Amino acid sequence: MRSVCGLAGAYQLTYHDPAGVERWRLAIPNGVTVQGADHYNDVLFGGTPPVGSWRLGVISDAGFDRLRATDTHASHPGWVEFQAVLGGTRPEWNPATSASGRKASAAPAAIQITAAGAVRGVFLASRPTAGDVAAAGVLFSTAVADAARDVEAGGVLSVSYTIAGG
Mean predicted confidence (pLDDT) in 9-16: 97
Residue 96 pLDDT > 70: yes
CA distance 85 to 88: 5
Residue 2 pLDDT > 80: no
Give all strands (DSSP E) within 33-130, no chain letters.
55-60, 102-104, 109-112, 117-125
Which band of pLDDT confidence, cut at 50, 70 and 90, is reported for residue 3?
A: very low
**What is residue 48's three-state secondary structure?**
coil
**pLDDT recorded at residue 66:** 95
Residue 4 pLDDT > 80: no
**pLDDT recorded at residue 91:** 97
For residue range 126-136, what is the model confidence (pLDDT) as tens digits?
Answer: 999 999 999 99
CA distance 44 to 122: 25
Q: Beta strands 109-112 and 7-16: pairing type? A: unpaired
For residue range 116-164, what is the model confidence (pLDDT) as tens digits?
Answer: 999 999 999 999 999 999 999 999 999 999 999 999 999 999 999 999 8
Which band of pLDDT confidence, cut at 50, 70 and 90, is reported for residue 8?
A: confident
Average pLDDT along the chain: 94
Closest to 54 (Cα-Cα) out of 7, 13, 106: 106
Mean predicted confidence (pLDDT) in 13-31: 97
**pLDDT recorded at residue 1:** 36
Residue 165 pLDDT > 80: no
**pLDDT recorded at residue 5:** 57
